[in-house]
A and B are shown apart, each in its own frame.
Chain A
């Protein structure tokens, strides 16, 4: 009776083969997930670089425009308001947004109708802790 029954057809070598192949597939999956994570992180860094230089160029254009207006003596309060530039005495300050969390903060000083850069730095927009959670009042 026993000899005539059909067994599952799986020997020890088959089981070993299945185990080996499954292990390789799991390693390949883990390798792919790691590579994909690295790729996404790199893309985020590239994107942040792009955003920074876009903002930097906007700030440079605004600087040039301001210098031109000072040279031509055509600087008006309306133009300063339109471009969100704050003036106090001989200092001009303005911000250019880089991303949701960062901005480029610029402070310029006028000496003999010539603009001088006092501050040109990247600052954080949000107030919060390192987990991007805002501080609770």
Chain B
């Protein structure tokens, strides 16, 4: 009778340890994977926005009278003209400004 009690105690103890550890580690690694996925996605958006802003900056410098709003995956590029200056902004879908630059045209 005592042996049966000890066995069920051991079984319950094992189940408890496994359940607690599994739950804790599951939460930790799911959170970490979710965070790393978000960071990686943000980094991709920022890198693409950076490349596009530089591209449009060189475009307005060589080919003036360019004014537009370009929607890309995860961000939007907005180009506004103010006389000889072009204001180029990259804004995420959440409304966060990634880059905001002003390009001045010289020699006109």
Contact = CB atoms under 8 A, between A and B. Distances in A.
Interface residues of B, number: 44
Contacts of B22: 17, 21
B26 interface: yes
Contact of A25 (B3, B13, B25, B54): B25
Give the one of B26, B35, B43, B99 with max A CB within 10 A.
B43
A45 B50 CA distance: 8
Nearest to B49: A46
Closest 6 CB pairs of A and B: A60-B104, A28-B32, A9-B13, A53-B101, A35-B36, A28-B29
B47 to A, nearest CB: 5
Contacts of B11: 9
Interface stretch (A36-44, A94-102, A122-130): A36-44
Interface of B: 2-3, 6, 9-11, 13-14, 17-18, 21-22, 25-26, 28-30, 32-33, 35-37, 39-40, 42-43, 46-47, 49-50, 53-54, 57, 85, 98-107
A31 B46 CA distance: 19
B44 to A, nearest CB: 8
Contact of A64 (B39, B47, B53, B104): B104
Interface of A (DSSP majority class):
helix
Interface residues of A, number: 42
Give the one of B22, B30, B40 with max A CB within 10 A.
B40
A117 B106 contact: yes
B29 to A, nearest CB: 4
21 contacts: A6-B6, A9-B11, A9-B14, A11-B14, A14-B18, A21-B21, A25-B25, A25-B29, A28-B28, A28-B32, A31-B32, A36-B36, A42-B43, A45-B50, A46-B49, A49-B50, A49-B101, A56-B104, A60-B104, A64-B104, A117-B106
Contacts of A3: 3, 6
A32 B30 CA distance: 11
Given A6-B9, A42-B43, A61 B3 contact: no
B104 A61 contact: yes
A83 interface: no
Interface in A6-41: 6-7, 9-11, 14, 17-18, 21-22, 24-25, 27-29, 31-32, 34-36, 38-39, 41
